[in-house]
Structures are given as structure tokens and as C-alpha cells.
Structure 1
Amino acid sequence: MFRPALLALALLAPALPAAAQLALPGVRLPPVPPAGDAIGRTLDQTTETLRETADQLLDLRQARIDRLLRRERDSVEADARGAPARRGELLLLDPDAATLEAAKAVGFALITRDRLGALGLEVARLQLPRGVKLAAAEALLSKAAPEAEIAPDNIYFESGAALAAWAAASASADAIATTVGMIDGAPGKGAAVAAQRGFARGAPYASDHGSAVASLLARAGVRRVLAADVYGKDPAGGNALAIARALDWLAGSGAKVATISLVGPNNAVLAKAIAGASRAGLVVVAAVGNDGPAAPPSYPASYPGVVAVTAVDGRARPLIEAGRALHLDYAAPGADIRAATRSGRNKSVRGTSFATPLVAARLAAALDAGGDWRARLDREAEDLGPRGADKQYGRGLLCRSCGK
């Protein structure tokens, strides 16, 4: 494992005074290699270790996708990019009558039309022609309606690992009045949420991941939480349309901040939903995921205007498994902290999933205070790593003592 202290010591070595090289009577010291050689070897070893870790995380990411495709083959299939999506369906954004007729002419059937009024968006769900795979269907529909905006109903994974239990709100946390929405699984026993709604089959259905996120919001001082369950008991839960519907509900229900600890590919429906939420005054905070720095950029964290969050451990060291987005805004604790399981027990959690609600809480507090929330968060953030914004901490570390 990479040890930052070892690297720091190696880098410090050339600066040590010659007097620090002790000579002991009667003791022959082995020859000391040139400092430059030692530092070079240490850096080479560190680089190789990080490269191996990144490769392993990529392998784990692919194994997770493959496992889902095998386990839920009746509900999930790969799209043209190899990303998992709801089987047998495609989505059309803001379709007109001519587009729907063109789709019908090549064998597609309309399932539903969703008018997401708060987002200014309409989405049509289309059933694929019999016997046509999703990847081939995308090409077929693109050819039949070349001006149409088409998307698979991609599935998004939770970006946390270990699970946790209900952490009672910290007595020292100031009460935060701004309403925060969470898009995740449903919180479980003991969850103090103002309202919850399901956007998947069998939802709301309590989950450990959603319980952990809700408990961390409570511990950080948020007093009004709206919980949108996009998973339920649906094998294809966590899909793009479910997230878009959840954003529409939150934007229309008075939430000003939404925390999303889910990761997946770029998707036209999700991109339009995020943009619509922003126009409606909803600030989205999203995790960069835990697939490592070599993984593809995660979404929705990578969309413009989304507050992208990474995680650190209890010593403020970046998590080695933290993923990446096209931009990075803030870091927060994502290890060595406690949160809640669905049954209400208290356990440790790890992952960028759990840093994200902490940043969402601080953003809500900044909205409470009024004025420029970004400037307020920048003043609050600890500037770690290289001076100014960087690729490990973004604009700085928030909420260092939260979650403990």
C-alpha cells in the first residue's frame, strides 16, 4: 500500500544537513546510495503501486457491470457503449409527432410519455421491436429519426461501500432550514424525513445505502429531507428516467439542494434533467464514485453546474479508490465515519457516497445564510494539497469533523 509519510520522508532526505549523518565508533555503516537514486526508486515504486491499484479498480468496475448483466438478464442489457440499461426500451427527449410516427414505422411502440413540468422536459419510453437488441435498436431509431435525441435508460450504481447506522444528529450541529432532497434508495428505521416517494417498482423500499445518506444529512444538521427512492425492488432500478422523475419531484416540492450518490455514464435524458433542475433553482451535489482515477468520468458529477464531491479519510488523505469527474469542487470525509443501516444500527462507512451528503448539508447551510453560496463554501473549505483548486481536493475540504 502507498504510504504518503514514506514518500514525504524520501523527498525530505536531500534537505537534511550533513551533521545528521552519524558516525559511530567501531561501526562500519553500509554505503548510502545517492539520495537522487533512492528518491527515484521510491517514486517509481509508488507510481507502479498506484497504477496497479487503478487497474484493479477498473477490473472491479467491469466485474460489477458484468455481474449485473448476468444476474438481471431479463431486465438489463448493455447499450452500444457496453453500459448497463433497462432491457427492451429506449427514451426519446421532447419528441414531436413526426418523430413518434417515424419510430412506429420501424417497429417501436410507445409505452409512456412523461411530462416533467418542473424541469421543462418530456420523455417518451419506447418498446423495442421484437428480437432487436438495444445497441442495434439505437442505430435503427437514429436512422429512422436522425434529428431525434435518443438515449438508453442507463442504470446508475451507488457509490458507497460499507454500510452504517442511524447517527443521531449532532447536538453541536446548527439546524439547517433549507430543504435537501436525496436521490438514492429509501431510508429505513428511524429516518426523520419530511416526505419520501418511490420512482421504481416496489419503491419506497428501505436500503442500507439510502439510510446511511439520510443519517449523515441529519447528523450534519439538515432538518427537512425529501427522500426519492429510485431503486425500490426493481432489478433495473437506478435508471436515468427514474432519476429524472425524482429531480422533477424535488424541484417541484421546494428542495433547493439535491444529493446524488450514484454514478454511471453520460446520458442525454439525465443531462437534460440536470440542466432543467438547475434552471428551477435546484443545486445538485453528486459523488465522483469509487472506481479509481483511471475510470471514465462519472455522471451526474461531470455535468456543468453539478457540485462534484470526492472523499478523504480520517487523516484528510484522499481515498485511493475515489473516481473522477470532468471537474472537482470539494472533498469531505468519506471514511472513518459512522452512519446508519436500514435496521437502525450504527456502522462504519467508506466511499464518496458518504462525503456527498456532508457537502450538500454545508451548501444548504450556505443558502440559509444568503448571498453567494459558492463564495461562502470557498471561505469555509480547507485548502489542502497544492495551493488553490487541485485534482485531489478540488476547492478544499469541507465538514472535516462531520460524521464522527
Structure 2
Amino acid sequence: MKAGRWIALAALLATPVAMAQVVPLPSLPGGLPRVSLPEVPLVDRVAQSVAGLAQDRIDRLRDLVRRNPDRIELDRQGNAVRAGEVVMSDPDDAAIAAAGRAGFRLIERSTIEGLEIGYARFAAPRGMSVDRALRVMRKAAGGREVSADPLHFASGEAGTASALPPPAPPVLPQSGGRIGIIDGGVNDGAVTGRVTQSGFAAGAPVANNHGTGIAALIAGGSGIRGGAPGAGLFVADVYGRDPAGGNATAIARALGWMVTQRVPIVTISLVGPSNPLLARTIAAAQAKGVIIVAAVGNDGPAAPPSFPASYPGVIAVTGVDGRNRALIEAGRASHLDYAAPGADMMTLDANGRPVAVRGTSFAAPLVAARLSAYYGAPDLGRYGPAIRQLDGEARDLGPRGPDKSFGKGLICGDCRTPRK
């Protein structure tokens, strides 16, 4: 390849975009409604070029915006955000009045439950782009933080339903742990253990493939091994039926709910750009003893760092295939802690049927599951010992010691339910 083409490709890959597709899901038994969830594409084609992967991301995101022009737009960095909306942190009456004089309509003024972080959402004047809205609002905000509301996309995808191989015995004993999932909703009849759900988007909670798949990998069910069999799951659905679901404000509110429920570990298999409100919420939850585990995404190693995996203190997880090779599409974070199975494996879809899956999405819940064996309640005094115990489970891969491909090593390698 000529040098000029390499330079062009590098510039393309440096664009901070999380690409998505909307995958329609069938209606579920018992009257659960049809839903859609934005997802980062499955990359099960090892021969696919990096350039093709990058273009695929761009095409999918543009298609998402074309189909939802009144709900989603792209900011100047190429990130998908809620169209015509801006968010102000810690607003007071004077700041809200100033925003009104600048032409903004207040949508919501609230406080994130359990963390006492205030915010307000505003609709920009009709026809104003989100980038111009940010410039205007910052002048009215009196020094308060103002941002767009970026969308986050699931970092993995399921194939078609198929039969499971003969059930394997559980690898791990039953767990009484409590684990949070911020994702789509879960078909609670498909997984073992108790599921408590709450909605943070229009129509939520409603089960979808991705959320149910994450839950099954933690708690097990219908022949799928779980990393923490029978664990109690607290599920925050941030998508519901909203095409602009998965936004930073919804994730922040979901995390506040986890704090009120005293959930010690929360796994997030979603990726998006950095956001000040979400960053502050994560830091506040961590200060209350919540450990957050997140997938590094599937945008490839040349993509910009993904969030929430790149926020300080978040446990960042990548995926490996059945031969313990790093997934070629695995993204990156500002740091990498562990690897876990992310391909050549099965989980359950929203109908409770076994499906093959691939993506770093499916690695993060396995790390959260194993961590729950050592961290049973939010307790900063137990954080260090719990991490050291998890480190003791990590199987070193690649160069000796921690590295950029596998972090400190492979967790829960035997938790994979192999695909046929």
C-alpha cells in the first residue's frame, strides 16, 4: 500500500466515532414488545481489512442518523448525540433563567439519585446545531459545565439462534453475589437467579438480545455457564424503545440507582466518547465503593480510547477467542486490566434461545462475575484485597507480565460455553 493511502487510513481510524447498527428483535413470549438496540457490528470475518471495518462503522452511524434525524445528530467530532439537546451540570435558578433568555427550553432539571449530582437538560432553539448550542449555552451557564448528551453503543453482537452442545457441568459454585448491569433489559425468565430491573429510557425496561446475553453470562441459564451462577442481578435498561437511548445522562442516572441499591459491582458493555457528567458520576459512585467493569469496545486497536472503560479506576476488559488470541476488532482504553472470553462462545438471546456471540461486550461480564466472589458489598476497604485476589486468578498471556493486549491476563477462561 502506498504511503499516502496509509496516511489516509490512519486519519480515518483516528476519527472518534462509535459506529452502530439497529438490530430489530422479535416479540418475546408473554407479550414482551418488539425493541431495537444500537450495537457495534459483529466482526467474525478475520480476513476483513481494517479499512473495511472503519468504513463499516462510518456507514452504520450515518444510517442511524438518517433514520432518526429528529432524535440523533453528529457533533463536530463525529460522535452521535441526542439531537438539539445540551446538558448543564449543577444548575441554579439564575443559570436556568439565563438559558431561557438565550432561547433554550428546559426539558428536565433533576438530581442523580444516590449521588446528589444536579443537572438540567435543555432543548436548543429550533434549527440550531448541537455544536452552536454548546457555544451559546456556555456563555449563559456562568462557568458551569455544559456538554452534549452522547450515545453509547453495545460492543458485541449475537448470531442466529442454534442448538446448544450437550450441557457441561458448572465450572463455579453457586454465587450469592449482587451484580449490576447497565445495558438493555433482560428476559428474567431465561436466566437463573433473581433479576431486579429499572428503566432509564422511554418504554424501559424491555428485554433485548444484548442485555439478556450479558445477564446469562453472569448468572447462567438454559445450558449456558455463568461466571457467577445464580447471582442476584440489578439491571438498568438505558435503551427501552428510544432510538436515542444509551445516552450519557441515562447511564449516569442508572449508576445512581445502583448506588441506592448497594450494588457493589456494575458491568457496562457499552462504548462512547468521554462526557463530563458521566465521568463525574462514575467518580462519585467509586467513592462510595462501587467497582465498575467496562468493555473496551470493538472499534479496533487504532480507534481512540473508549469510555467508560477509559475513565480512571474503571476496570477495562478486552476479549479473546477460543484459542486465547486477542480479538482483531478489540478496541482500546487508556488502560487495560484483564482479558476474558469474547468469541467462539454461546449465550442466550431475548427469547432465551442459545446464540453464538462475539465482541468485548461478552468478556466484561465474566470479569465482573469473578470479581463478585471477592467483593460482596460496597466497601473501599475491601477494594484492594478483592483486586489482588482477582489478579491471582489471571492467566498470563502474551509477553510475560501485564501487557497492552491482555492486561494482567485471562479471567474466567473456563467460563465459556463453546459454540458448536
- Normalised by the size of structure 1, how large is the TM-score? 0.83
Give the match for residue 183 of structure 2.
184
Match of 2:404 among 385, 391, 395: 391
Work out the CA distance in 1 between the residues paired with 2:139 and 2:341. Answer: 47
Give the match for residue 236 of structure 2.
228
Give the match for residue 244 of structure 1.
252
What code does the residue aligned with 2:213 have? A
In the TM superposition, what whole-angstrom CA distance separates every residue of 1:41-86 from its partner, at most 9, and x where no partner exists? xxxxxxxxx9983333222222222121111112111123221111
4+ long deviations beyond 6 Å:
164-169
Give yes or no for the alignment of 1:100 onto 2:96.
yes
Is the CA contact 1:308–1:330 (under 8 Å) kept in the aligned structure 2?
A: yes
Is the CA contact 1:90–1:153 (under 8 Å) kept in the aligned structure 2?
A: yes
Work out the CA distance in 1 between the residues paired with 2:251 and 2:58. Answer: 23
Give the match for residue 269 of structure 2.
261
Q: Gaps spanning 5+ residues in structure 2: where?
A: 1-45, 220-225
For residues 4-403 of structure 1, the aligned pairs below 5 Å read 53-145=49-141, 147-163=143-159, 171-188=170-187, 189-192=189-192, 193-218=194-219, 219-222=226-229, 223-368=231-376, 372-403=385-416
What code does the residue aligned with 2:241 have? K
Deviation at 1:191, TM superposition (A): 3.4
Work out the CA distance in 1 between the residues paired with 2:320 and 2:284. Answer: 31
Deviation at 1:170, TM superposition (A): 5.5
Single out whichever of 253-262 and 188-197 deviates more from structure 2: 188-197
Is the CA contact 2:113–2:253 (under 8 Å) kept in the aligned structure 1?
A: no
Give the match for residue 34 of structure 1.
none
Work out the CA distance in 1 between the residues paired with 2:205 and 2:169. Answer: 27
Is the CA contact 2:111–2:119 (under 8 Å) kept in the aligned structure 1?
A: yes
Deviation at 1:197, TM superposition (A): 0.8
Is the CA contact 1:54–1:293 (under 8 Å) kept in the aligned structure 2?
A: no
Computing the radius of gyration from Cα coordinates, the structure with the larger value is 1
Work out the CA distance in 1 between the residues paired with 2:337 and 2:51. Answer: 25
Is the CA contact 2:228–2:372 (under 8 Å) kept in the aligned structure 1?
A: no
What code does the residue aligned with 2:339 have? A
- Normalised by the size of structure 2, how large is the TM-score? 0.80
SS state at 1:196 partner: strand
Deviation at 1:199, TM superposition (A): 0.7
Work out the CA distance in 2 between the residues paired with 1:164 and 1:244. Answer: 32
Please tell me the root mean square deviation across aligned C-alpha atoms, in Å.
2.1
SS state at 1:237 partner: coil
In the TM superposition, what whole-angstrom CA distance separates every residue of 1:191-227 from its partner, at most 9, and x where no partner exists? 3443101111111111001110000001112410011
Work out the CA distance in 1 between the residues paired with 2:280 and 2:245. Answer: 19
What code does the residue aligned with 1:397 have? L
Give the match for residue 4 of structure 1.
none
Is the CA contact 1:212–1:339 (under 8 Å) kept in the aligned structure 2?
A: yes
Is the CA contact 1:118–1:276 (under 8 Å) kept in the aligned structure 2?
A: no
What code does the residue aligned with 2:386 have? W
Q: Count matched residues.
A: 355
Work out the CA distance in 1 between the residues paired with 2:327 and 2:64. Answer: 25
Instruction: Compare the two structures and name the one with the higher helix fraction.
Output: 1
Work out the CA distance in 2 between the residues paired with 1:137 and 1:146. Answer: 15
Give the match for residue 26 of structure 2.
none
Deviation at 1:150, TM superposition (A): 0.8
Deviation at 1:367, TM superposition (A): 1.3
SS state at 1:112 partner: strand
Work out the CA distance in 2 between the residues paired with 1:64 and 1:366. Answer: 40
Counting aligned pairs with the same residue, the percent is 49
SS state at 1:190 partner: coil
Is the CA contact 2:317–2:338 (under 8 Å) kept in the aligned structure 1?
A: yes
In the TM superposition, what whole-angstrom CA distance separates every residue of 1:22-58 from its partner, at most 9, and x where no partner exists? xxxxxxxxxxxxxxxxxxxxxxxxxxxx998333322
What code does the residue aligned with 1:343 have? N
